[in-house]
Amino acid sequence: NAGVTQTPKFQVLKTGQSMTLQCAQDMNHEYMSWYRQDPGMGLRLIHYSVGAGITDQGEVPNGYNVSRSTTEDFPLRLLSAAPSQTSVYFCASSYRTSGTGELFFGEGSRLTVL
């Protein structure tokens, strides 16, 4: 199994540009989420979804959009990139109804905004 796949792994943007980070999982997980990791800040939740068609905001949602049209995919959109969005982004998924809640992570996407 591929698990959780994120693309691209690296991206450089200019301020004001838009882009989409892709995330796909092949484990039929209901729950998917996006985190950003910054030095000293740990992993902060951006948006999450508990199933297709359902999304909600996390701790730091401003400047990001998400949608969940299928169980497998959960793209993260940066509408107008800012230097403050320079970070490493992780997509994660888990079983929801099983009660486990353990997160399976992608390999991360390093984004630099100039």
Q: Where on the chain is the footprint of other proteins (CB under 8 A)?
A: 31, 33, 35, 40-45, 48, 50, 56, 58-59, 88, 90, 92, 94, 96, 99-105, 107-108
CB nearer to other proteins: give 48 or 64: 48
Structure tokens at 28: 């039929």
CB nearer to other proteins: give 16 or 41: 41
- Which sign, positive or negative, has the C-alpha torsion 15, 20, 23, 28? positive
**Least distance in angstroms from the C-beta of 96 to other proteins:** 6
Contacts (Cβ under 8 Å, ≥6 apart) of 99? none
Task: Read off the DSSP letter of residue 2.
Answer: -
The percent helix, strand, coil of the chain (3-state, each to 5) is 5, 50, 45
**Least distance in angstroms from the C-beta of 14 to other proteins:** 25
**Least distance in angstroms from the C-beta of 35 to other proteins:** 7
CB nearer to other proteins: give 14 or 97: 97
